[in-house]
């Protein structure tokens, strides 16, 4: 009897085992699948289907919605609450200085009309340019300047806060319904309702109420209406 000892089988390496499993399962594999081979070689190998991730698209949608909401709130705030406006020029000296930034509130005039002597931001035209002036005449008022002194409906209006009133005569004029008469505090150098190119300001062209000087910070102060 042949008692030649059996030749021990060579144990397959992990790489060889993985290759063998892949060769058996190759027809079942597709791009994007993950082959899971358990540590226990007696357990069958499994194919784990990889589901395409949609997280990137969800993040993009969430950021888009967030940006749209923030933009909408900013637009609503600027239109109905308040906005900063830069003073350009010297027409409102000494109340406001050139290049100062003022806070213009919008909510003041949502349910009521501007008052006499309010300092307002207004438009002279449809081109979007805005100007800061003081209301010196309401709808139906008769406005007149006599040697720089202001008279409204024949009544003298003190203007002790003015240092540049000039000695001009103007009027009298009647402010039409739905319109306002505006003047700069620097009467010597101001383009306002006295000029035919400006005239009376329609109510829709009064954008807001000038409340505070907010920049430069060292000059932070309230803009008094002085009425």
CATH number of the structural domain spanning residue 129: 2.10.109.10
Omega prior to 94 cis, within 30 of 0: yes
Q: Name, in order, each residue with C-beta under 8 angstroms of 92's C-beta and a sequence gap of 6 or more.
A: 119, 132, 133, 134, 184, 185, 186, 190
**Using one digit for the tens of pLDDT, what is the confidence trace for 169-215?**
999 999 999 999 999 999 999 999 999 999 999 999 999 999 999 99
Choice among 3, 23, 106, 133 that is catalytic: 133
Choice among 91, 121, 190, 193 that is catalytic: 91
Active site residue 90: no
Q: What is the pLDDT of residue 184?
A: 95
Shared-domain flag, residues 31 and 114: no
Q: What is the pLDDT of residue 165?
A: 86
In this structure, is residue 211 part of a structural domain?
yes
What is the rounded CA–CA span in Å between residue 114 and residue 138? 8
Share of the chain above pLDDT 70, in %: 70
Confidence of residue 8 (pLDDT cuts 50, 70, 90): low
Shared-domain flag, residues 137 and 25: no
In this structure, is residue 4 part of a structural domain?
no
With 80 as the cut, is the pLDDT of residue 71 above it? no
Residue pair 143/171 in contact (Cβ under 8 Å)? The answer is: yes
**Using one digit for the tens of pLDDT, what is the confidence trace for 147-157?**
999 999 999 99
Q: What is the pLDDT of residue 63?
A: 78
Question: What's the chain's average pLDDT?
Answer: 81
Confidence of residue 87 (pLDDT cuts 50, 70, 90): very high
Active site residue 91: yes
**What is the DSSP track for 126-165?**
SS--EEEEEEEE-TT-EEEEETTEEEETTEEE--TT-S--
Q: Give 74-79's long-range contacts (Cβ < 8 A, gap of 24+).
A: 79/106
In this structure, is residue 61 part of a structural domain?
no
Domain span at residue 42 reads 14-48
């Amino acid at each position: 009897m042949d008692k030649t000892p059996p030749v021990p089988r060579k144990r397959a390496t992990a790489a060889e085992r993985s290759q063998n499993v892949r060769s058996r399962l190759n027809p079942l594999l597709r791009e994007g699948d993950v082959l899971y081979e358990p540590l226990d070689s007696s357990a069958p190998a499994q194919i784990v289907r990889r589901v395409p991730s949609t997280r990137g698209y969800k993040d993009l949608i969430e950021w888009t919605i967030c940006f749209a909401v923030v933009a909408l709130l900013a637009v609503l705030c600027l239109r109905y609450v308040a906005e900063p406006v830069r003073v350009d020029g010297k027409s409102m000296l000494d109340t406001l200085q050139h290049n100062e930034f003022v806070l213009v509130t919008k909510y003041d005039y949502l349910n009521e009309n501007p008052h006499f002597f309010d300092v307002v931001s207004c438009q002279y035209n449809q081109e979007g340019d805005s100007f800061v002036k003081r209301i010196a005449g309401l709808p139906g008022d008769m406005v007149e300047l006599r040697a720089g002194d202001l008279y409204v409906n024949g009544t003298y209006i003190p203007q002790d806060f003015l240092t540049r009133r000039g000695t001009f005569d103007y009027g009298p004029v009647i402010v039409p319904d739905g319109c306002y008469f505006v003047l700069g505090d620097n009467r010597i150098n101001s383009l306002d309702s006295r000029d035919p190119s400006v005239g009376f300001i329609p109510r829709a062209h009064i954008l807001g109420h000038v409340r505070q000087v907010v920049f430069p910070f060292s000059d932070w102060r309230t803009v008094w209406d002085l009425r």
